[in-house]
């Protein structure tokens, strides 16, 4: 069981708030859109990940509980 | 062979080996889908060639059996994604059976995708023109398996002849005894993304012709929220034969785990371009030989003076979202999804475009990238910004004297685009560019030193005219 | 309550009676009303800054967003205190439903009603924002546009019902708040130009017309002596 971050690229409008709140896992490309680190979210960062998901102005950042770890 | 109309469709014949006409293709041999002679097969001819569809004791039992047979056959989608057809059928059937489904109700629908958005592909058009009843059989079977009562057969609006052929075939079936599923032939406006699964579903739902974010996949919630089976026309045609002859017959050709045959469209510098049927796993050289291409030993893909023999320089496999393969090394690559992917290309919708050695692969790639960029939906930031940037940079490489930084930019963009859009347009464009840098590395060095090669300059002039 | 009730004169003799209420509740309602308005202005400003993606090296976006949410809740809390103290004070004859129904109040019906409307919108904005993850983004966004209306209604309510409007520093607070929000809204309209040109031009025109109308109303209404009577009070109150 793991939690994975995903971006809905259609909803994303490059506000960049997610990268501010979770710089360990999210960086921004030259146009301001998020690049997510691959793999599951490490447990110590889960709280920050949830906060980043709630803070996205367009609700484009998603945190999915993944049962079998294949994403 | 005459037909008696019946309530269960135009296939009232008795079951059993004694009822099989002589002209059925024996198991294990080709052609399977392309059995015709170039004129559309009428319903009678279709039944004489392939035999009747099997009848089932009850629709419910038939559905489960069919899905099991398709899964055992290992049929994968022939539209480009190569998703297991049995899994998709099962997902739609299960979604429809779930109580309390979404706003559209739970009645599933079938979408037969004959849009063929890839410019170099002609297999779906050929199937509809030559063997429409194979596709229509496939639709009827898919509807049986999923419990759908209606289907959309989507054809490009710019090819009215296809719609006419499909409608004529449906009229034939209606006269003989209508199918259980209502099939609507639907001309859909074209565009590269028009055949993309979620874009097609969106358009059918009355929305824009743009891809949507998954999940939920169309199999779970598609046209107006209903479970929707979107299947390529060729896949449905294979389904029609698997239902008749079984999974073992289907698997008698091909290289496991990729079983069966596939239609490929061969174009470019070959004596006999067109649509061919080949077992999956056949070496590319063998497939192209069927199009008249003799293997040329030791030939290298170099731009040379005009007038040189148009032997191949490279092959573009998998369409604009596929990849380049250098010739003659490519001759040994197996034509299958896994084989082509390992070689840095893709199977996609089965297009094999042969670039002559006199042409410039970099110029061709630059033009393809410009085309892809102009067809982007404009929904996802990385693609909206990145694909034009990639096309521009590659244009510099092909038609100007590229600076090392330009080449580096292209490399960065090919790493930055994949996986960051709602569809695979940015992934495919990036993959194409990366394969071009690899396969045409020698040409790239030449361009960097001297500017555009004569072939590139000539093609630029021709495009300008 | 005693001092307040002595001033309750019959309408005919209203103009001849000068009344002031000294209860702490009356001061509290005026104070909380004014502070809530300032906070509402701040909330609206932070919302605009958020939508134009304003940030500085030491002030990241999440600070703007977080402040916007927190200040809006604080403003709403103060408005609740403002409502409770007004009801408890009893100096003005309003009932509980006048706090949420924007009509039918005995006291300055139009201007009080605007306050109720502003409060209603504020509640809708906060509730939809708390349920943001459970509703469609488009629906949430549509409701959130009403934030501008809520702020504007609060401004007019404050000037229409306020008893301190003619105090210089209070007037400056109103003028400053309006100028600030008008300026920021102008920036908001310009941000991302020329997308949605028609909507932006229309909104700009509405903004200009509303500003001019408000200035005219201010000149001829609350700033002219006798406003309390013309606004529909049954008592007169405040300093003269």
Q: Closest-CA residue in chain C for A60? A: C137
d(CA B453, CA C9): 99
- Note whether ipTM > 0.90 here: yes
Question: SS3 string of chain C?
Answer: CHHHHHCCCCHHHHHHCCCCCCCHHHHHHHHHHHHHHHHHHHHHHHHHHHHCCCCECCECHHHHHHHHHHHHHHHHHHHHHHHHHHHHHCCCCCCHHHHCCCCCCCCCHHHHHHHHHHHHHHHHHHHHHHCHHHCCHHHHHHHHCHHHHHHHHHHHHHHHHCCCCCCHHHHHHHHHHHHHHHHHHHHHHHCCCCCCHHHHHHHHHHHHHHHHHHHHHHHHCCCCCCHHHHCCCCCCCCCC
C108 pLDDT above the threshold of 80:
no
Residue B260: alpha-carbon gap to chain centroid: 15
Contacts 24+ apart (CB under 8 A), B80-85: B80/B118, B80/B232, B80/B318, B80/B319, B80/B321, B80/B346, B80/B347, B80/B348, B80/B349, B81/B197, B82/B337, B82/B347, B85/B231, B85/B235, B85/B238, B85/B239
d(CA B84, CA B75): 6
Mean pLDDT for all residues in chain C:
84
CATH number reported for the structural domain that contains residue A49 in this entry: 3.30.70.20
What total number of domains does chain A contain? 1
Per-residue pLDDT averaged across B94-104, rounded? 70
Confirm or reject contact between A20 and chain C (CB < 8 A).
yes
B445 pLDDT above the threshold of 70:
yes
Mutation target vs A (from C49, C63, C70, C137; most A CBs, 10 A cutoff): C137
CB neighbour burial string for B26-64, b if at least 16 within 10 angstroms, e if fewer: eeeeeebbbbbeeebbebebbbebbbbbbebeeeeebbe
Let me know: does B263 contact B275? Beta carbons within 8 Å. yes
Q: Closest-CA residue in chain A for C69? A: A55
Confirm or reject contact between A9 and chain B (CB < 8 A).
yes
pLDDT tens for C186-227 read: 999 998 888 888 999 999 999 999 999 999 988 888 777 777
- Secondary structure of residue A5 in the 3-state scheme: strand
B250 pLDDT above the threshold of 50:
yes
pLDDT tens for C31-58 read: 999 999 999 999 999 999 999 999 999 9
| Helices B43-50 and B233-245, axial angle in degrees (round to 10) | 50
C111 pLDDT above the threshold of 50:
yes
Residue B411: alpha-carbon gap to chain centroid: 28
Q: Closest-CA residue in chain C for A58? A: C137
What does residue C129 show for φ and ψ, rounded to 5 degrees?
-70, -35
Max avg pLDDT among B24-38, B285-299, C107-121: C107-121
pLDDT of residue C234: 54
Is position A70 within any domain?
no
- Give domain limits for chain B: 26-252, 256-356, 361-464
- pLDDT band of residue C7 (cuts 50, 70, 90) is very low
C119 pLDDT above the threshold of 90:
yes
- pLDDT band of residue B382 (cuts 50, 70, 90) is very high
Q: Closest-CA residue in chain A for B381? A: A33
Of C62, C133, C137, which has the smallest distance from its Cβ to A20's Cβ? C62
d(CA C240, CA C230): 16
pLDDT of residue B34: 82
Confirm or reject contact between A40 and chain C (CB < 8 A).
no
Per-residue pLDDT averaged across C127-136, rounded? 91
Task: Fold for B26-252, please state it.
Answer: Rossmann fold (3.40.50)
Concatenated DSSP letters for B120-150?
T--HHHHHHHH-HHHHHHHHHHHHHHHT-SE
d(CA B334, CA B282): 5
| Chain A residues with CB-CB distance to B386 below 8 A | 29, 31
Instruction: Look at C114 and C94; give whichever has higher pLDDT.
Output: C114
| Chain C residues with CB-CB distance to A59 below 8 A | 132-133, 137
d(CA C47, CA C190): 16
Let me know: does B285 contact B311? Beta carbons within 8 Å. no
- Find residue B352's DSSP bridge partners: B266, B317
Of A11, A20, A21, which has the smallest distance from its Cβ to C137's Cβ? A11
- Secondary structure of residue A23 in the 3-state scheme: coil
Let me know: does B198 contact B211? Beta carbons within 8 Å. yes
d(CA B342, CA A64): 31
B57 pLDDT above the threshold of 60:
no
Chain C neighbours, 3+ Cβ pairs < 8 A: A
CATH number for the domain whose boundaries are B256-356: 3.10.20.600
What does residue B259 show for φ and ψ, rounded to 5 degrees?
-105, 160
Instruction: Look at B53 and B360; give whichever has higher pLDDT.
Output: B360
Running DSSP on this structure, what letter comes out for residue B334?
Answer: B
Does C have 3 or more CB contacts under 8 Å with B?
A: no
| Helices C146-161 and C197-220, axial angle in degrees (round to 10) | 0
pLDDT of residue B22: 40
Of A10, A14, A30, which has the smallest distance from its Cβ to B422's Cβ? A10
pLDDT of residue C228: 75
pLDDT of residue C100: 82
Mean pLDDT for all residues in chain B:
86
- pLDDT band of residue B23 (cuts 50, 70, 90) is very low
- pLDDT band of residue C127 (cuts 50, 70, 90) is very high
Cβ distance A20 to C60 less than 8 Å, yes or no, reads: yes
Cβ distance A12 to B380 less than 8 Å, yes or no, reads: yes
pLDDT of residue C23: 78
Domain that holds residue A52: 2-65
Cβ distance B380 to A31 less than 8 Å, yes or no, reads: no
pLDDT of residue B100: 64
Cβ distance C65 to A54 less than 8 Å, yes or no, reads: no
- pLDDT band of residue B105 (cuts 50, 70, 90) is low
pLDDT of residue B17: 39
Let me know: does B212 contact B381? Beta carbons within 8 Å. no
- pLDDT band of residue C8 (cuts 50, 70, 90) is very low
The percent of residues in chain B predicted with pLDDT above 70, rounded, is 87
Max avg pLDDT among B307-311, C71-75, C100-104: C71-75
- pLDDT band of residue B328 (cuts 50, 70, 90) is confident
B307 pLDDT above the threshold of 60:
no
Concatenated DSSP letters for B237-252?
HHHHHHHHH-HHHHTT
Contacts 24+ apart (CB under 8 A), C222-228: C222/C159, C222/C160, C222/C162, C222/C165, C222/C166, C223/C165, C223/C166, C223/C171, C227/C165, C228/C163
Cβ distance B420 to A7 less than 8 Å, yes or no, reads: yes
Per-residue pLDDT averaged across B180-193, rounded? 92
| The CATH number of domain B361-464, selected from 1.20.1440.230, 3.40.50.20, 2.30.290.10, 3.40.950.10 | 1.20.1440.230
d(CA B367, CA C146): 48
pLDDT tens for B135-181 read: 999 999 999 999 999 999 999 999 999 999 999 999 999 998 877 88
- Give domain limits for chain C: 20-230
Instruction: Look at C214 and C97; give whichever has higher pLDDT.
Output: C214
Does A have 3 or more CB contacts under 8 Å with C?
A: yes
pLDDT of residue B60: 62
B295 pLDDT above the threshold of 90:
no
Cβ distance C137 to A16 less than 8 Å, yes or no, reads: no
Cβ distance A17 to C61 less than 8 Å, yes or no, reads: yes
| Chain B residues with CB-CB distance to A7 below 8 A | 420
Portion 43-62 of A in contact with C at CB < 8 A: 54-55, 57-59
pLDDT of residue C21: 55
The percent of residues in chain C predicted with pLDDT above 90, rounded, is 54
In angstroms and rounded to an integer, the radius of gyration of the C-alpha atoms of chain A is: 11
| Chain A / chain B CB contacts < 8 angstroms | 39
pLDDT in tens, chain A (71 residues): 789 999 999 999 999 999 999 999 999 999 999 999 999 999 999 999 999 999 999 999 999 987 654 44
What does residue B291 show for φ and ψ, rounded to 5 degrees?
-90, 10
- Residue B39's contacts (CB-CB under 8 Å, 6 or more residues apart) are B130
Q: Closest-CA residue in chain A for C57? A: A20
């Amino acid at each position: 069981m793991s939690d994975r971050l995903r971006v809905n690229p259609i909803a994303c409008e490059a506000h960049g708030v997610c990268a501010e709140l979770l710089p360990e896992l999210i960086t921004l490309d030259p146009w301001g859109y998020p690049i997510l680190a691959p793999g599951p979210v490490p447990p110590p960062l889960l709280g920050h990940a949830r906060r980043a998901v709630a803070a996205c102005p367009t609700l484009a950042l998603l945190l999915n509980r993944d049962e079998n770890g294949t994403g | 062979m005459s037909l008696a109309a019946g309530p269960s469709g135009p296939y009232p014949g008795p079951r059993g080996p004694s009822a099989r006409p002589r002209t059925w293709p024996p198991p294990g041999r080709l052609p399977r889908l392309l059995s015709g002679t170039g004129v559309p097969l009428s319903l009678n001819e279709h039944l004489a060639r392939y035999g009747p569809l099997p009848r089932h004791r009850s629709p419910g039992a038939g559905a489960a059996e069919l899905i099991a047979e398709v899964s055992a056959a290992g049929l994968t989608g022939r539209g480009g994604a190569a998703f297991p057809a049995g899994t998709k059928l099962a997902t739609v059937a299960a979604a429809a059976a779930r109580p309390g489904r979404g706003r559209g109700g739970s009645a599933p629908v079938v979408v037969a995708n004959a849009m063929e958005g890839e410019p170099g592909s002609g297999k779906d058009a050929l199937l509809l023109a030559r063997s429409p009843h194979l596709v229509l059989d496939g639709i009827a079977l898919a509807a049986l398996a999923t419990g759908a009562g209606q289907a959309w057969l989507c054809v490009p609006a710019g090819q009215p002849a296809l719609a006419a052929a499909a409608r004529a075939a449906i009229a034939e079936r209606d006269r003989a005894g209508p199918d259980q599923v209502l099939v609507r032939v639907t001309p859909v406006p074209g565009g590269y993304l028009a055949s993309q699964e979620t874009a097609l579903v969106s358009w059918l739902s009355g929305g824009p012709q743009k891809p949507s974010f998954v999940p939920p996949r169309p199999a779970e919630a598609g046209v107006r929220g209903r479970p929707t089976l979107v299947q390529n026309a060729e896949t449905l045609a294979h389904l029609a034969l698997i239902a008749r002859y079984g999974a073992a017959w289907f698997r008698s050709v091909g290289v496991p785990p990729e079983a069966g045959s596939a239609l490929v469209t061969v174009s470019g510098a070959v004596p006999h371009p067109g649509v061919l049927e080949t077992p999956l796993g056949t070496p590319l050289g063998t497939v192209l030989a069927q199009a008249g291409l003799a293997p040329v030993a030791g030939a290298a893909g170099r731009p040379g003076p005009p007038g040189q023999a148009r032997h191949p320089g490279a092959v573009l496999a998998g369409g604009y979202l596929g990849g380049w393969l250098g010739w003659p090394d490519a001759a040994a690559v197996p034509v299958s999804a896994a084989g082509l992917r390992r070689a840095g290309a893709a199977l996609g919708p089965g297009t094999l475009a042969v670039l002559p050695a006199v042409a410039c692969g970099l110029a061709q790639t630059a033009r393809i990238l410009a085309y892809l960029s102009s067809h982007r939906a404009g929904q996802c930031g990385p693609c909206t910004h990145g694909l034009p940037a990639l096309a521009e940079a590659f244009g510099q490489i092909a038609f100007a004297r590229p600076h090392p930084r330009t080449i580096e930019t292209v490399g960065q963009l090919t790493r930055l685009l994949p996986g960051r859009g709602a569809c695979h347009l940015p992934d495919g464009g990036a993959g194409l560019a990366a394969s071009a840098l690899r396969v045409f590395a020698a040409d790239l060095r030449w361009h960097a030193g001297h500017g555009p090669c004569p072939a590139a300059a000539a093609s630029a002039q021709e495009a300008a005219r | 309550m005693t001092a307040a009730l002595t001033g309750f004169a019959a309408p005919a003799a209203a103009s001849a009676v000068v009344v002031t209420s000294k209860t702490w509740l009356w001061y509290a309602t005026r104070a909380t009303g004014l502070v809530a308005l300032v906070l509402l202005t701040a909330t609206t400003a932070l919302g605009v800054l958020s939508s134009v993606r304003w940030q500085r090296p030491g002030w990241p976006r999440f600070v703007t967003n977080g402040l916007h949410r927190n200040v809006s809740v604080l403003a709403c809390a103060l408005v609740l205190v403002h409502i409770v103290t007004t009801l408890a004070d009893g100096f003005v004859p309003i009932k509980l439903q006048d706090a949420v129904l924007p009509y039918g109040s005995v006291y300055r019906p139009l201007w009080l009603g605007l306050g109720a409307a502003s409060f209603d919108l504020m509640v809708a904005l906060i509730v939809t924002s708390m349920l943001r993850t459970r509703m469609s983004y488009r629906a949430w966004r549509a409701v959130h546009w009403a934030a501008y209306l809520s702020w504007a209604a609060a401004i007019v309510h404050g000037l229409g019902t306020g008893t301190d409007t003619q105090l210089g520093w209070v007037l400056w607070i109103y003028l400053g708040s309006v100028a600030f929000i008008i300026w920021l809204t102008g920036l908001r309209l310009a941000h991302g130009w020329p997308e949605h040109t028609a909507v932006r031009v229309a909104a700009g025109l509405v903004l200009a017309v509303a500003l001019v109308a408000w200035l005219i109303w201010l000149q001829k209404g609350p700033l002219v002596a006798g406003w309390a009577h013309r606004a529909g009070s049954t008592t007169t109150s405040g300093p003269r």
